[in-house]
C-alpha cells in the first residue's frame, strides 16, 4: 500500500497466481485424496482470512514487495484496495464452503476448490477480478458505500 492508500494492482494478481495453483492442487487432490484436499482448502481459508485481517503481513504481499516488485517498473496506475479486499472476502466464503461443507460431503471441497481456482485463474492470467466486479456492481446498486 502506498502513502495514498492505493495499491499496486500487480500485487493481488501475483497472489491470485499462487492461489490458483493451490486451489488447482486442492481440486486434483479432491479426486483421490479427500483429506489432503480438505487440508489444502483449510490452508486457503487461512490465507484468505489473513489477507483480510492483515494484508501488509500476508506472505504473498511480503514476497511480492521483497522479490517481485523491485524487478518491475513502477505501476502505471494504482488501485483502490477495497475491491480486491472484497474479492478476498468472496474467496474466504468459498473456502468456508469447502471447510464446513467438506465435513458433511467431500464433493463440497471439490466445488469450493473449483470456484476458487476459476476466480483466481481469471484474475492472475487475464486481469479479470470477479470479486472486484461484484464489489463494483453491489456498490452501484447502493448496497455498500
d(CA 120, CA 114): 10
- Asked if the structure places residue 44 within a domain, the reply is yes
- Asked if the structure places residue 3 within a domain, the reply is no
Confidence (pLDDT) at 145: 84
- Asked if the structure places residue 28 within a domain, the reply is yes
Please give, one letter per residue, the 3-state secondary structure of 74-113.
CCCCCECCHHHHHHHHHHHHHHHHHHHHCCCCCHHHHHHH
Confidence (pLDDT) at 89: 98
- Asked if the structure places residue 119 within a domain, the reply is yes
* Cell, residue 89: 472476502
- Asked if the structure places residue 145 within a domain, the reply is no
- Asked if the structure places residue 5 within a domain, the reply is no
Range of the domain at 46: 10-68+79-140
Confidence (pLDDT) at 1: 59
Tally of structural domains, the chain: 1
- Asked if the structure places residue 1 within a domain, the reply is no
Q: What stretch of H or E contains 122? A: helix 107-126
- Asked if the structure places residue 111 within a domain, the reply is yes
Going residue by residue through the chain (145 aa), what tens digit of pLDDT does each one get?
555 689 999 999 999 999 999 999 999 999 999 999 999 999 999 999 999 999 999 999 999 999 999 999 999 999 999 999 999 999 999 999 999 999 999 999 999 999 999 999 999 999 999 999 999 999 999 999 8
Confidence (pLDDT) at 118: 98
Q: What stretch of H or E contains 137? A: helix 130-140
d(CA 95, CA 45): 5
Confidence (pLDDT) at 123: 98
The count of other CB atoms within 10 Å of the CB of residue 142 is 7
Bridge partner residues of 7 (DSSP): 79
Amino acid at each position: 500500500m502506498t502513502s495514498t492508500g492505493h495499491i499496486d494492482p500487480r500485487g493481488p494478481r501475483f497472489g491470485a497466481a499462487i492461489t490458483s495453483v493451490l486451489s488447482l492442487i486442492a481440486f486434483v487432490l479432491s479426486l483421490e485424496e479427500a483429506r489432503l484436499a480438505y487440508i489444502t482448502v483449510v490452508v486457503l481459508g487461512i490465507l484468505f482470512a489473513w489477507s483480510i485481517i492483515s494484508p501488509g503481513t500476508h506472505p504473498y504481499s511480503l514476497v511480492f514487495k521483497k522479490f517481485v516488485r523491485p524487478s518491475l517498473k513502477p505501476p502505471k496506475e494504482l488501485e483502490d484496495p477495497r475491491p480486491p479486499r472484497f474479492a478476498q472476502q468472496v474467496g474466504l466464503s468459498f473456502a468456508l464452503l469447502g471447510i464446513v461443507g467438506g465435513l458433511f460431503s467431500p464433493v463440497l471441497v471439490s466445488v469450493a476448490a473449483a470456484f476458487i481456482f476459476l476466480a483466481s485463474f481469471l484474475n492472475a492470467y487475464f486481469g479479470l477480478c470477479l470479486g472486484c466486479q461484484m464489489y463494483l456492481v453491489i456498490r452501484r446498486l447502493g448496497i455498500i458505500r
